[in-house]
Amino acid sequence: MRAIIRRSYINSRGYLASDIHLRDPTCKPVIGSYHVMFRIPYNGCGTQRLISHGAITYSNTVEGSVSGNFYSRNRNSLINFACKMHNSAGAQTVPSAIQPPYRETPSNQFVVKFAFYDSPSFSNVVRAAPYYVMPNRDLFVRATLYSTQPDLMLFTDTCVVSPNPHDFTTVASDIIRGGCVRDPTYRSYLSPDRRIVQFRFRAPSFISRYSSVHLQCKMVVCNRYDFSSRCYQGCIRRGKRSTRDGDENKNVIIIVSRLQ
């Protein structure tokens, strides 16, 4: 969400542009010559969510603090605002939520943690649960491999979005399959650590038609110095099979995150 406020109004209330903030006082505006602008996330900066009669309302407040003292009792509400999203398949505006934001999959030798982030910088992990996602919104995903064995690496073989957690074929959106990119919105981000895989894709528009959808990813763990392993084979078209498939199957991890 975005809110633009005239600086003349802020001054008329006895505040400077630098004195105002959202409900979370660390969320400050971008200050221009005549206006200030807030960029308000749906899941941060003190934004509150209310579900009622098939609609979701997000609300926040612009507050002023005397002399910038966030923790002063003299914090006054200047503007209350809300964004209401109706449950309309035609409008496609009701978000879907990722629940839970983390998925941890253990094995005998390693653990893979699966997390969502709010930007391509991968600096702020999404901790809010549920995590609501708009159709056609970019999602940033990171999978991290933890192991006492230092010479392992992680590879994304397949990621699919489906409304049925037991069927990722009938109604589904392929993000990547067999190491081959199927979704034009998919983009991978390089990491200096081969145990980290991070990528972006856009939430499919059909999520607005279901109360929940699911993201399933198949990750493969390999020895980083085994250049004949699945991790180095990249895209494998249907019909092609590696002679190493049997060896790699024991290191395949299926990770499923539910989007409600």
- For the stretch 41-97, pLDDT in tens is 887 888 887 776 666 788 888 888 765 444 444 557 788 888 877 654 433 344 455
pLDDT digits (tens, 9 = 90+) for 1-37: 888 898 988 888 888 888 899 988 888 999 998 899 9
Beta bridge partners of 197: 143
Residue listed under structure tokens 């994304």: 156
11: Cβ contacts below 8 Å, ≥ 6 apart? none
Residue 129, token pair as written in the block: 């649960």
Please tell me the pTM assigned to this model: 0.57
In the three-class reduction of DSSP (H, G, I as helix; E, B as strand; rest coil), residue 207 is classed as helix
Taking the C-alpha atoms of residue 32 and residue 48, their distance in angstroms, rounded to an integer, is 27
Segment 110-132 mean pLDDT: 81
Cβ-based burial of 59 (10 A; exposed 0-12, middle 13-18, buried ≥19) = middle
Taking the C-alpha atoms of residue 152 and residue 226, their distance in angstroms, rounded to an integer, is 10
For the chain, domains (ranges, CATH) are 2-86 (2.60.40.3210), 96-259 (2.60.40.4100)
